[in-house]
Structure formats: structure tokens, C-alpha cells
Amino acid sequence: MNSEASAPAQSNDAGGEIPNETARRLESALRGRRATVAVVGLGYVGLPLVRALHDAGFPVLGYDVDREKIAKLRRGEDYLKHLGPSFAARLNASGRFRASADEAELRDADAIILCVPTPLGPHREPDLEYLLSSTRMVARRLRRGHLVVLESTTFPGTTREWMRPILEETGLRCGSDYFLAYSPEREDPGRTDASTRTIPKLVGGVDDVSGDLAEALYASCIDKVHRVSSADIAESAKLLENVYRAVNIALVNELKVVFDEMGIDVWEVVRAAATKPFGFEAFWPGPGLGGHCIPIDPFYLTWRAKEFGHSTRFIELAGEINSRMPRHVVSRVADALNRARKPVHGADVIVIGIAYKPDVDDMRESPAAEIIERLMALGARVAYHDPLVPVFPAMRRHRIDLRSEALDAARLARSDCVVIVTDHRAIDYALLGEHAALIVDTRNAMEDVPRPRATVVKA
């Protein structure tokens, strides 16, 4: 339902109370789940949000510039496997969902939520290309009574200082004619103990009325909504969440390197420290950061802080440590091969798992790409096995022409080194331990394999 169409807005040229009535009509439609909600960007953030809105009973428009995604959704094909089988078919069968690549359809929605990428540029500066182009697209279709919400992670002030001026080039005014808010996504692909609906939602408006309406929207489809005083607070809270994780992962990654030199197992150290019931949270080392948040988001704050004359040294140091980890892994592979009296050049290396985290097919910012490229640059013959990623996808900064190879005893026996980068549960680690000669394990995945024949080196 188009809430404005149900009660057409009157002219406000004389400066009456029409904007308040517009907001009241929209709030009623949102709380009654009669409002049509458009989700712009149908990836790892947008599509789970579509599910939450749809399951709550909203009519939903899914928009994406990728026409192949739209075609798959219309055919009922699932392209994000972690959302479960037949997800797209269920959307289509309900009669309350339509997928479109036609921006003109956005005008008929009542609320428009932007879930678009916010990557980094080549010098770790914010790349707002997708966000700004999407905002301009919304501006072309903006009408009185629209609620616009940004979910993409960004620096404090983006919604208010960058989006609002673009939208107000239309002549419509925020807080009276249309409404603007920020609500950061908190997706964790592959997680089974939480979903978009059950993860608490932060909401902050550019103004109070916008915040009220965004809160009404999310309260209608999310179990718990936490209202904050402004969009800037919500933007900052999202960055704090990911800075916290990046810094603590950097700490344990640095300790891993130090403890290794001492002959101390960092994984056992972390487990031991985690027995303390207060004052400690376990973070685990790995081959480098991946995903859509932790490798990227802290640098949005670093960039913004410089505009105010501050240097975020803690964040920058964490980024430096975490970005070194793929090189550390390659160094450990070279050392392990050297001890086996084999050069890296010409070595047959199998990388196990290339997704950025276990049990998903998500390759965004995966450290596996840099590890493979560095091994290739040293002359290694590199193959990979990942049951969830059959073909190495094109990435923003990497082009690797490989396909996942099947693993069996003969293939493992031919390898000089197996490198575990991502510890999918579907991997047969006992098979690796039985038939590989050398394993470099970046995830401690071999811990539960009793008495492997392979030489196992932790990295």
C-alpha cells in the first residue's frame, strides 16, 4: 500500500500542519504493515532484510542494478545459500514481493532502505560511489511522505551531511516533506543462533520525526529496537562495534607471532584466559581479516577523524597488524617447506577454504586471495579446495583463475603443502592428516585430529 495514495497530501504552500499529518499517516501504515518497503541492494545485507520485512507481513520491493540477481529472484533461484533452500520461491509465492531493476518503481514505495556497498578506495579512503549514486537515484523518485533509511556502514555525519543535501535538491524538506534516518546493518552471514529479526536494531533519525518513523518501521519487523538520539550516534556506534573487534583481533594476531617464537600455542593461551568469568572475551587469531565490516569500517572513522585534526593511532596500528597476516602465513609456508627441504618455487600447494569465514560462500575481502597471489608470485603451483566456492570469483582487487579441486588421498599425496585458510565444517580434516605430508594450519583446525601422519605447522 502506498500510504500517501490512501490519503493524498494537500499543498503546503501556506505553511499549514500538513507535514505532521503526512508523518502520522505514514506511521500508521508502518505500524499496520500496510506500507510498501523498498530495499535497494539485494546482497548479504539487503536480502536478509527483505526476509525480515516479508516475514513480518510487509509488501516488499527488492531493487538491484544487477539484472541477473533480479532474474534469479523472479525465477525463484537462491543465490545466497545461507538464507536456506526455497527462500526466493517463498517470496514469489506470497504475492507480497516483487524484484525489480526499474528505479521508477521506488516512487510507489512508502519507505526506501539503502543497503549498498561502502568499500575503501586504494588509499583506505571511504568510497561513497555506490551510496551517493543510490541517493541520487532516490532523489529522482522522492516524493512527499517518503521515509529513507541508510543501513550501509559509513562515517559519522554521512546521512545528515551527504545524503540530506542531495535529497533536498528536490525542494522537499527533511522532517516535514520526507524523512531520513540511519539504522546500521548487523548481519553475520552463516550465523545460526541469530537472524536479522532477532539481532537488536539501532535507529537514529536526522530529526526526531524521522527517528520516530524509522523506529516504527523496524519495530514492526525486528524483535528489539534501540532508539538513539541521532543518525550520527547510530553511525558512530556501528563503527565502534567493528573497531572493537578489529583491535582485539589485531592484539591476538600479534601475540600469535610472538608466542610462536617462544614455542607457545596461542590457541591454548586464549582458551586458558577465557576460563576467567569476567573481564575477558576470547578473540581468535587467523590468516587476516575478511568480510564486509572489520577490514573496512574502522578506516571510515580514521578518515573522518583526520578532518577534525585527530590521528586514530590505535585503529591504524590494528589495521597494520591485521593486514600483515597474509604475508605472515606465506612466510610460515616458506619456512615449513624449507624445513622439508623443498623450495616454494615449483611447490604444489593446496589452499583449503577461500571464503572469508567458515561455512559461508562469502568471498568479500577474504585473506585467501592475497595468500594465493603471494604464493603464486613466489613460483608455487597453487590449487584450492572449497566446497562452498566452486569457482574463484572476480574481486575488486584480485583476479585469480582457479576452480575448486576435489580432494582425495591421491591428490593430497601429490601435494607438497596444504594450507588451511578457512575451516569449513564440511572439510574432512582426518583425510588431510592421513594423506598430506605437510599442513600449515592458520585456524587450529587440525587440533581434533588424533595423531595425524602429516607434519602440522600452526600459522
- pLDDT for residue 12 is more than 60: no
CB 398 within 8 A of CB 290: no
d(CA 403, CA 392): 6
d(CA 407, CA 351): 11
Of 1-10, 396-405, 414-423, 447-456, give the lowest mean pLDDT range.
1-10
Domains 3-229 and 270-458 share a fold: yes
- pLDDT for residue 195 is more than 60: yes
Per-residue pLDDT, 445: 98
Q: Phi, psi at residue 38, to the nearest 5°?
A: -100, 130
Active-site positions read 293
pLDDT in tens, 262-293: 999 999 999 999 999 999 999 999 999 988 78
In the block, residue with C-alpha cell 601435494: 415
Q: Please, which pLDDT band fits residue 9 given cuts at 50, 70 and 90?
A: very low
Percentage of the chain surpassing pLDDT 90? 85
- pLDDT for residue 398 is more than 90: no
d(CA 304, CA 126): 9
In the block, residue with C-alpha cell 573497531: 243
| DSSP 8-state code for residue 287 | S
- pLDDT for residue 57 is more than 60: yes
Q: Please, which pLDDT band fits residue 215 given cuts at 50, 70 and 90?
A: very high
Average of per-residue pLDDT values in the chain: 93
154 three-state secondary structure: coil
Question: Looking at domain 3-229, what is its CATH homologous superfamily?
Answer: NAD(P)-binding Rossmann-like Domain (3.40.50.720)
Topology annotation, domain 270-458: Rossmann fold (3.40.50)
Per-residue pLDDT, 19: 53
pLDDT in tens, 408-434: 999 999 999 999 999 999 999 999 999
Give the gyration radius of the chain's Cα atoms.
Answer: 25
Cα-based distances in Å from 281 to 249, 252, 256, 278, 445? 11, 11, 16, 8, 21
Spell out the domain ranges in the chain: 3-229, 270-458
d(CA 132, CA 139): 10
List the grid coordinates of 417. Answer: 603443502
Name which of 452, 367, 359 is nearest 412 in CA terms. 452
Q: Which residues contact 394 (CB under 8 A, 6 or more apart)?
A: none
Per-residue pLDDT, 441: 98
pLDDT in tens, 114-140: 999 998 888 888 999 999 999 999 999
